[in-house]
């Protein structure tokens, strides 16, 4: 999704802005641009396509200065082209803006501005912002922006630059913005990734706040225009953690980080046979739990339902956040709504949480990005501590989410005064070593990928707690390799998908040991009888399953409730190797954004 970066200081700006844009690439984009102010003039350049294309532009070499804004655009209104890319400038080319979010009433404002003579060049909703600022500008950029904000409806993260004022003004509503505070230099960005190499001190803007940043100084004002004090937060992520090290892709690096990530998720949370979580909620009042999320996080929510009901015996439902927010959900005070989100910025998940709060429910966030909007919106939360996830296809956040939900489920049981199974706690601590063993299989999985990389379709089957793993395996494959894939509970096969099975259909079975292993074996036989090409994930050499399988991936045995985190690793690697062998840009799949901050 679109990315914003801005800088004001004493460095020569072009390398800073281009470097910052590269750090935002992972969010997904289709065009990029920068605008720099120097000696009363705005210099700008925009380009459709990759930042590497922008870098090749001759015009870029002519730009110099030390105040500027930059943007990566992910098209929503209007095609991905140079004209629609940001920054957008006013008619006199004296003011420039970059914008994330959607201006819902842009059509009426566009008409008004056009009638007044403004020349609006793009098809975007964003461009009207700069013309409104131009309309209101009487020598005070902040005042002109405040008047503009009163007129626009929708979501925005905005950074504004003027050729006449040595400052960048930023404003936020529903789209994240963070200010990086350095020594005599300031940064602004839509997330911390372009900031962290310069400073670890940041301020997260809240909705309706405005930030005025100049060299070595920042001022934050609330919606009434009153200056407010905000705490500086310390970023814990290092620059190394957001770089690729020696891996070809972030996705592979992040998959190989999974053992460490789980250690970080459980660190300090399992102590002396107990779960320690600092959650500020009265659990006695909770009568029902609703998990809400999108995409991969929704799959961990599905696993969460099994875990929460198993351990806490509290009824639990799972809802797509996008559906929950619009289906007029019946919510009462005894409900706890849990939002699961890697980024903590997903617009639908955020809206679901707001909806739940308005209806009187308590809210909890299971979020990776510290200080993100969802983490600030909820009543209480559990951070994943998975570190920055850059690959668009979520990997390490998924396993971390499942572990966090498991800890929470056991915690609920503990809060009821019930005995905790020590063997389970021990096994959670053993999981990183087991995942390590699956990662050793990477080369073998690559060979399987070579065999199946040209398949047109894939089916994934699992049962019980591994059904959501089948969904996640299919999602990973379609996201990055563009092969059509579906996940199903294995028993559903006979109700439809079985019609698809022939000699060209690879079928992945999650067939590790479980209370229903025997049932899975019958499903495998049914596929075999129809000549489907079976790839089985099993726990040990299982001669019976091997007899029917074209390929077998052996993974360490664990408790059934922990099997999703061990099993999913092979599916992530399979998707990765297939996509890589097909020659695709694994970390930046087409049409996808890392953080989906619009509806
Ligand atoms: O940041 P979130 O966890 O809220 O993101 C939710 C989905 O957009 C995300 O999981 C998406 O499905 C990923 N691309 C999956 O790999």
From the candidates 2, 35, 294, 316, which is the catalytic residue? 2
pLDDT value of residue 543: 82
Look at 2 and 160; give whichever has higher pLDDT.
160
Residue minimizing CA distance to atom 11 of ligand 1: 295
Residue minimizing CA distance to atom 9 of ligand 1: 295
Per-residue pLDDT of 208-228, as tens digits, reads: 999 999 998 999 999 889 999
Return the number of other C-beta atoms located less than 10 Å from residue 450's C-beta. Answer: 12
Residue minimizing CA distance to atom 12 of ligand 1: 295
The span from the CA of 217 to the CA of 213, in Å, is: 6
The span from the CA of 498 to the CA of 501, in Å, is: 5
pLDDT value of residue 461: 97
Q: Calculate Rg over the CA atoms of the chain.
A: 25
pLDDT value of residue 54: 93
Tokens of 169: 């003004």
Closest by alpha carbon to 107, among 154, 144, 142?
154
Q: How far is the CA of 416 from the centre of ligand 1 (A)?
A: 33
Tokens of 565: 């985190």
Query: What percent of the chain shows pLDDT beyond 90?
Result: 80
Instruction: Look at 177-186, 240-249, 419-428 and tell me which has the smallest mean pLDDT.
Output: 240-249
Domains in the chain, CATH or no CATH each: 3-235 (3.60.20.10), 244-432 (3.40.50.10490), 441-584 (3.40.50.10490)
Q: How far is the CA of 474 from the centre of ligand 1 (A)?
A: 14
Q: Are 69 and 24 in contact (CB under 8 A)?
A: no
Residue minimizing CA distance to atom 7 of ligand 1: 295
Q: What band does 1 get if pLDDT is binned at 50, 70 and 90? A: low
For residue 140, how many C-alpha atoms fall within 13 Å in the half-sphere facing its CB? Answer: 5
Which of 346, 353, 382 most suits a substitution to test ligand 1, by most atoms within 8 Å of the C-beta? 346
Which value, to the nearest 10 degrees, does the dihedral of the CA atoms of residues 76, 78, 80, 83 take?
-130
Residue minimizing CA distance to atom 8 of ligand 1: 295
Ligand 1 atom having least distance to the Cα of 393: 16
Closest by alpha carbon to 179, among 147, 149, 217?
217
Q: How far is the CA of 291 from the centre of ligand 1 (A)?
A: 15
pLDDT value of residue 238: 74
Ligand 1 atom having least distance to the Cα of 349: 4
Per-residue pLDDT of 292-315, as tens digits, reads: 999 999 999 999 999 999 999 999
pLDDT value of residue 303: 98
Per-residue pLDDT of 557-591, as tens digits, reads: 999 999 999 999 999 999 999 999 999 999 989 88
H helices of 367-510, in order, are 373-377, 396-415, 422-440, 442-452, 467-481
Q: How far is the CA of 160 from the centre of ligand 1 (A)?
A: 29
> Does 243 score more than 80 pLDDT?
no
Q: How far is the CA of 354 from the centre of ligand 1 (A)?
A: 19
pLDDT value of residue 516: 83
Closest by alpha carbon to 353, among 383, 322, 312?
322
Tokens of 461: 């089957």
Look at 408 and 80; give whichever has higher pLDDT.
408
Cα 376 to chain centroid distance, Å, stands at 16
> Does 329 score more than 90 pLDDT?
no
Instruction: Compute the average pLDDT of residues 105-110.
Output: 94
Q: Residues lining ligand 1, CB < 6 A?
A: 294-297, 341-343, 346, 349, 392-394, 479, 592, 595-596
Burial of 503: CB neighbours in 10 Å, binned 0-12, 13-18, 19+: exposed
Which of 296, 353, 396, 571 most suits a substitution to test ligand 1, by most atoms within 8 Å of the C-beta? 296
Q: Is 296 left (phi over 0), alpha (psi -120 to 50) or beta?
A: alpha
Residue minimizing CA distance to atom 16 of ligand 1: 393
From the candidates 253, 413, 434, 594, which is the catalytic residue? 594
The span from the CA of 154 to the CA of 136, in Å, is: 20
Instruction: Compute the average pLDDT of residues 306-327.
Output: 94
pLDDT value of residue 261: 92
- To the query of whether residue 594 is one of the catalytic residues in this protein, the response is yes
Q: How far is the CA of 392 from the centre of ligand 1 (A)?
A: 8
Q: How far is the CA of 59 from the centre of ligand 1 (A)?
A: 37
The span from the CA of 190 to the CA of 463, in Å, is: 40
Residue 444 DSSP symbol = H
SS3 386: coil
Which own/partner pairs from 299-303 qualify as long-range (CB within 8 Å, at least 24 positions apart)? 299/398, 299/468, 299/469, 299/471, 299/472, 299/475, 300/340, 300/398, 300/401, 300/402, 300/405, 300/468, 301/338, 301/340, 301/405, 302/467, 302/468, 302/471, 303/402, 303/405, 303/465, 303/468, 303/469, 303/564
Cα 428 to chain centroid distance, Å, stands at 25
Q: Is 278 left (phi over 0), alpha (psi -120 to 50) or beta?
A: beta
Ligand 1 atom having least distance to the Cα of 401: 3
Per-residue pLDDT of 486-513, as tens digits, reads: 999 998 988 998 999 999 999 999 999 9
> Does 324 score more than 80 pLDDT?
yes
The span from the CA of 567 to the CA of 179, in Å, is: 40
Give the helix/strand (H/E) hosting 72. Answer: strand 67-73
Instruction: Compute the average pLDDT of residues 133-138.
Output: 97
Instruction: Compute the average pLDDT of residues 159-176.
Output: 94
**pTM exceeds 0.85:** no
SS3 6: strand
Residue whose entry in the numeric block shows the structure tokens 């579906």: 486
Ligand 1 atom having least distance to the Cα of 346: 4
> Does 236 score more than 90 pLDDT?
no
Distances (CA, A) of 270 to 188, 310, 399, 452, 585: 37, 19, 17, 41, 39
Ligand 1 atom having least distance to the Cα of 296: 10
Q: Are 599 and 348 in contact (CB under 8 A)?
A: yes
SS3 136: helix
Ligand 1 atom having least distance to the Cα of 394: 16
Return the number of other C-beta atoms located less than 10 Å from residue 62's C-beta. Answer: 10
Burial of 197: CB neighbours in 10 Å, binned 0-12, 13-18, 19+: middle
Instruction: Look at 20-24, 80-84, 439-443, 541-545 and tell me which has the smallest mean pLDDT.
Output: 541-545
> Does 74 score more than 90 pLDDT?
no
Q: How far is the CA of 249 from the centre of ligand 1 (A)?
A: 18
Which of 254, 294, 592 most suits a substitution to test ligand 1, by most atoms within 8 Å of the C-beta? 294
SS3 117: coil
Ligand 1 atom having least distance to the Cα of 595: 1
Q: What band does 62 get if pLDDT is binned at 50, 70 and 90? A: very high
Q: Which residues of 403-423 are buried (b: 16+ CB within 10 A; e: fewer)?
A: bbbbbbbbbbbbbeeeebeee
Q: How far is the CA of 184 from the centre of ligand 1 (A)?
A: 36
Return the number of other C-beta atoms located less than 10 Å from residue 139's C-beta. Answer: 9
Give me the helix-helix angle, 563-581 and 422-440, nearest 10°: 20
- To the query of whether residue 2 is one of the catalytic residues in this protein, the response is yes
Q: Are 455 and 501 in contact (CB under 8 A)?
A: no
Residue minimizing CA distance to atom 14 of ligand 1: 393
């Amino acid at each position: 999704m679109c990315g914003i970066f801005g800088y004001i200081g004493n460095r020569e700006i072009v390398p800073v802005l281009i470097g910052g844009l590269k750090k935002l690439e992972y969010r997904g984009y289709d065009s990029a641009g920068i605008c720099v102010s120097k000696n009363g003039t705005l210099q700008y350049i925009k380009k459709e396509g990759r930042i590497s294309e922008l870098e090749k532009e001759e015009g870029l070499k002519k730009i110099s200065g030390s105040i500027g804004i930059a943007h990566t655009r992910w098209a929503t209104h209007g095609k991905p082209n140079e004209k629609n890319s940001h920054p957008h400038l006013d008619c006199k080319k004296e003011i420039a803006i970059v914008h994330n979010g959607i201006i819902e009433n842009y059509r009426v404002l566009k008409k008004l501005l056009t009638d007044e003579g403004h020349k609006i060049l793009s098809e975007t909703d964003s461009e009207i912002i700069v013309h409104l600022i131009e309309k209101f500008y009487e020598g005070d950029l902040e005042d002109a922006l405040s008047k503009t904000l009163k007129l626009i409806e929708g979501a925005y993260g905005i950074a504004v630059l003027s050729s006449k004022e040595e400052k960048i003004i930023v404003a936020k509503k529903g789209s994240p913005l963070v200010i990086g505070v350095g020594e005599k230099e300031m940064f602004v960005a839509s997330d911390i990734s372009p900031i962290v190499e310069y400073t670890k001190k940041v301020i997260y803007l809240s909705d309706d706040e405005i930030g005025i940043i100049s060299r070595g100084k920042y001022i934050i004002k609330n919606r009434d225009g009153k200056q407010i004090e905000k705490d500086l937060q310390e970023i814990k992520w290092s620059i190394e953690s957001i770089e690729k090290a020696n891996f070809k892709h972030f996705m592979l690096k992040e998959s190989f980080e999974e053992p460490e990530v789980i250690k970080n998720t459980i660190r300090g949370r399992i102590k002396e046979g107990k779960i320690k979580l600092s959650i500020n909620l009265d659990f006695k009042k909770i009568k029902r739990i609703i998990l809400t999320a999108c995409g991969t996080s929704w799959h961990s929510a599905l696993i969460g339902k099994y875990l929460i009901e198993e351990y806490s015996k509290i009824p639990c439902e799972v809802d797509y956040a996008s559906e929950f927010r619009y289906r007029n959900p019946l919510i009462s005070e005894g409900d706890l709504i849990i939002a699961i989100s890697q980024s903590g910025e997903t617009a639908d998940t955020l809206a679901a949480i707001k909806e739940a709060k308005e209806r009187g429910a308590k809210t909890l966030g299971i979020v990776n990005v510290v200080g993100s909007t969802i983490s600030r919106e909820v009543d209480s939360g559990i951070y994943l501590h998975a570190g920055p996830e850059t690959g668009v296809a979520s990997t390490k956040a998924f396993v971390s989410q499942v572990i966090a939900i498991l800890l929470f489920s056991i915690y609920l049981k503990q809060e009821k005064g019930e005995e905790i199974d020590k063997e389970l706690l021990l096994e959670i601590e053993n999981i990183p070593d087991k995942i390590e063993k699956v990662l050793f299989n990477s080369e073998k999985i690559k060979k399987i990928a070579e065999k199946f990389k040209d398949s047109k379709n894939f089916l994934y089957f699992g049962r019980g707690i591994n059904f959501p793993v089948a969904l996640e395996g299919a999602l990973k494959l379609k996201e990055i390799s563009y092969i059509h894939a579906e996940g199903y509970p294995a028993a559903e096969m006979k109700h439809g998908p079985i019609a698809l099975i022939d000699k060209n259909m690879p079928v992945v079975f999650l067939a590790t040991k479980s209370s229903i292993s025997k049932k899975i074996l019958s499903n495998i036989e049914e596929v075999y009888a129809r000549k489907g090409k079976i790839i089985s994930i099993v726990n040990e050499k299982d001669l019976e399953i091997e007899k029917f399988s074209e390929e077998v991936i052996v993974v360490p045995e664990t408790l059934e409730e922990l099997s999703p985190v061990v099993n999913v690793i092979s599916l992530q690697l399979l998707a990765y190797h297939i996509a890589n062998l097909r020659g695709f840009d694994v970390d930046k799949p087409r049409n996808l954004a890392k953080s989906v901050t619009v509806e």
